[in-house]
């Protein structure tokens, strides 16, 4: 049984006439008769009643035609779905991200992704930077947004591009002496009770801060550790101390807190977008297109990385287009 037989049977059922059905198929009448006869011989049942008033499906024909229609629909859908999958319009993208990324780059990127590729299932999982790096290497994620480039085993197989810079800012409750001041000096922080991200959550930030404070890191050793930005601002609002975090923390502003720049301006490890270099998934490619379209400066960085990948992957099939 070939799909041609299904098409021919459907055309015959539609036109109820061998000659016209054959014409609609672009063939002459005898081959159509032969093919229909072949199907009937294969199934062992007559599918059409040839009457002087037209050709009508038998009970067997009705049952056959119903399935034939569905089969042909599946076949065309196979081609369409394959094409869409190749363009990354269907499928799944598993993304790990740190909570602070939800404040700045992710809303725009994810919104655009949803709009341009509505049929891609987005699996979003908030996780710490070390967790996302491990999950990416293990193949449990397709893309990760972390702070600082991934560390650990297998990261050489990852491509990483910076997607957001931050400098250190302080946050205090509105009752704190710092409230109302545009900036404070780093030295002033050493005397304060600090609130910072937990090292196991953001080791890159923790190490960076320790470097900034130098040998006199007692302030850090007695700091209150927080899981995420919202805990830092919340604790600052409770006057537990002075929160320290990335500048995008300002986007999580509240009425009861005040942000101060820290002088000198101290750059934190960048937000990084990572994915497996060997991952040629079209969904990932489509996602990277969205990222590139959304942030121009990231785009140029990505282009450099992707140029190499695309050149390599297009070599085996240069005649594809």
Partner DNA sequence: CGCACGCGATATCTTCAGAGTATGGAGTCG
Partner DNA sequence: CGACTCCATACTCTGAAGATATCGCGTGCG
Contact residues for a copy of itself, defined by CB under 8 A: 1-4, 6, 42-47, 50, 58-64, 66-68, 70-72, 74-79, 81-86, 88, 90-91, 280-283, 316-317, 320
What does each C-alpha distance from 171 to 165, 241, 247, 309 come to in angstroms?
18, 9, 10, 43
Does residue 23 interact with DNA by CB under 7 A? no
Question: How far is CA 275 from its chain centroid?
Answer: 11
Alpha-carbon span 180 to 195, nearest angstrom: 19
Q: Find the shortest distance in angstroms from Cβ 34 to DNA.
A: 6
For residue 158, list its beta bridge partners: 276
CB nearer to a copy of itself: pick between 67 and 185: 67
Nearer to a copy of itself, 60 or 305 (CB): 60
CB 18 within 8 A of CB 83: no
200 binds, among DNA, a copy of itself, none (CB under 5 to 8 A by kind): none
Residue 182 contacts which entry, a copy of itself, DNA, none (Cβ below 5-8 A, type-dependent): none
Among residues 2, 14, 280, 297, the one that binds DNA under rule CB under 7 A:
2
Does residue 33 belong to the site contacting DNA (CB under 7 A)? yes
Count the residues of the shown chain that bind DNA, applying the rule CB under 7 A: 22
Stretch that binds DNA, among 51-59, 101-109, 128-136, 211-219 (CB under 7 A): 51-59
d(CA 318, CA 73): 31
CB of 275 to DNA, least distance (A): 22
Instruction: Please provide residue 87's backbone torsions phi and psi, each rounded to the nearest 5 degrees.
Output: -85, 0
**Min CB(55)–a copy of itself separation in Å:** 13
86 C-beta neighbours (distance < 10 Å), count: 12
In 52-175, at which residue ranges do the beta strands (DSSP E only) sit?
A: 54-57, 91-97, 120-126, 143-147, 158-173
Distances (CA, A) of 111 to 29, 49, 91, 106, 252: 55, 57, 17, 8, 19
Q: Which one of residues 11, 36, 144, 262 is an interface residue with DNA (CB under 7 A)?
A: 36
Q: Is residue 318 a contact residue for DNA (CB under 7 A)?
A: no
Give how far the C-alpha of residue 242 lies from the chain's centroid of Cα atoms, to the nearest Å: 35
Which of the stretches 15-23, 108-116, 161-169, 174-182 binds DNA when contact is defined by CB under 7 A?
15-23
Q: Which residues bind DNA (CB under 7 A)?
A: 2, 4, 17-19, 22, 26-31, 33-38, 50, 52, 54-55
């Amino acid at each position: 049984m070939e799909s041609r037989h299904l098409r021919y049977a459907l055309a015959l059922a539609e036109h109820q006439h061998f000659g016209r059905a054959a014409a609609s198929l672009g063939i002459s009448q005898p081959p159509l008769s032969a093919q229909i006869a072949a199907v009937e011989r294969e199934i062992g049942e007559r599918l059409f009643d040839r009457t002087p008033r037209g050709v009508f499906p038998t009970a067997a024909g009705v049952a056959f035609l119903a399935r034939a229609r569905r089969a042909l629909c599946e076949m065309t859908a196979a081609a369409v779905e394959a094409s869409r999958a190749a363009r990354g319009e269907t499928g799944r993208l598993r993304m790990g991200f740190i909570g602070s990324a939800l404040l700045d780059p992710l809303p725009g990127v994810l919104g655009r992704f949803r709009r341009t590729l509505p049929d891609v299932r987005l699996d979003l999982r908030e996780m710490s930077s070390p967790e996302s790096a491990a999950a990416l290497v293990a193949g449990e994620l397709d893309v990760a947004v972390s702070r600082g480039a991934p560390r650990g085993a297998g990261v050489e197989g990852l491509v990483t591009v910076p997607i957001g810079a931050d400098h250190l800012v302080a946050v205090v409750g509105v009752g704190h002496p710092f409230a109302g001041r545009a900036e404070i000096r780093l030295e002033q922080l050493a005397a304060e009770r600090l609130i910072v991200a937990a090292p196991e959550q953001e080791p890159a930030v923790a190490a960076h801060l320790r470097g900034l404070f130098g040998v006199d890191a007692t302030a850090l050793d007695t700091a209150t550790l927080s899981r995420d930005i919202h805990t830092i601002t919340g604790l600052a609002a409770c006057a537990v101390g002075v929160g320290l975090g990335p500048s995008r923390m300002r986007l999580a502003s509240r009425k009861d807190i005040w942000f101060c720049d820290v002088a000198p301006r101290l750059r934190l490890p960048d937000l990084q977008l990572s994915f497996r270099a060997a991952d040629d998934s079209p969904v990932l490619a489509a996602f990277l297109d969205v990222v590139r379209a959304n942030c121009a400066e990231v785009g140029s960085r990505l282009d450099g990385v992707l140029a190499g990948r695309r050149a390599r992957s297009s070599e085996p099939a240069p005649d594809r287009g």
